A and B are shown apart, each in its own frame.
Chain A
Amino acid sequence: MQNKRSIRGKVAIVGVGQSPSGRVPGRSPLDLTADATLKALADAGMDKSEIDGVLTGNAFASSFHRFSVALSEYLNIQPSFSNTLQVSGATAGAAVNIAAAAINGGLADTVLVACGDSLLTGMTPDMAIRAMTESRDQQYEMPFGIPVANTFAMTAQRHMKEYGTTSEQLAQVAVTFREHARRTPGAQKTDSITVEDVLNSKMVTTPYHKLDCSLISDGAVALILTSAEKAHEYTQEPIYILGGGEYYSHEHIFLMPELTQTGAVQAAKKAYEMAGVTAKDIDVAGIYDCFTGTVLMMLEDLGFCKKGESGPFVEAGEITYGGAIPTNTHGGMLSYAHPGIPAAWFHFAEVVRQLRNSCGERQVASAELGLVHTLGAGFSTQATTILGTGSTL
Chain B
Amino acid sequence: MSEQKVGVEEALKKPLPTPDGDSQPMWDGFKEGKLLLQHCGDCGHVQYYQQGICRNCQSPNLQHQKASGRGVIHSYSVVHRAPGPAFRDDVPYAVLLVELEEGPRMISRLVGQDFDSLDFDLPVRLETIKVSDELFLPYFALNECN
Contact = CB atoms under 8 A, between A and B. Distances in A.
Interface of A: 126-127, 129-130, 132-134, 138-147, 149-150, 153-155, 157-158, 161, 202-207, 210, 252-255, 259
Contact of A155 (B75, B85, B87, B93): B75
Interface of B: 7, 11, 14-20, 23, 48-49, 74-85, 87, 90, 93, 95, 97, 104-109, 120, 137
Given A130-B85, A145-B109, A161-B75, 16 more contacts: A130-B83, A139-B18, A140-B17, A140-B49, A145-B83, A145-B93, A146-B107, A147-B83, A154-B75, A154-B76, A157-B77, A202-B81, A206-B77, A253-B97, A254-B104, A259-B74
B11 A154 contact: no
Given A140-B106, A141-B107, A161 B120 contact: yes
B107 A126 contact: no
Task: Count chain B CB atoms within 10 A of each CB in A129, A143, A154 and give the residue with the most.
Answer: A143
14 contacts: A127-B7, A129-B84, A140-B49, A140-B106, A141-B107, A144-B137, A145-B83, A145-B87, A145-B95, A146-B83, A146-B107, A147-B79, A155-B75, A252-B107
A259 B75 contact: yes
A212 to B, nearest CB: 12
B137 A130 contact: no
A205 B77 CA distance: 6
Contacts of A157: 75-77, 120
Contacts of B23: 139
B87 to A, nearest CB: 4
Contacts of A150: 77, 79, 83, 95
Nearest to B115: A206
Contact of B15 (A138, A204, A253): A138
Contacts of A155: 75
B134 to A, nearest CB: 13
Contact of B19 (A139, A206, A255): A139
B84 A133 contact: yes
A202 B81 CA distance: 9
Closest 10 CB pairs of A and B: A147-B83, A130-B84, A153-B77, A139-B17, A154-B75, A254-B105, A142-B15, A204-B81, A145-B87, A133-B83
Given A129-B83, A130-B11, A154 B97 contact: yes
Nearest to B100: A254
A255 B75 CA distance: 13
A28 to B, nearest CB: 16
Contacts of A143: 14-17, 137
Contacts of B93: 145
Contact of B90 (A145, A202, A252): A145
Contacts of A210: 81
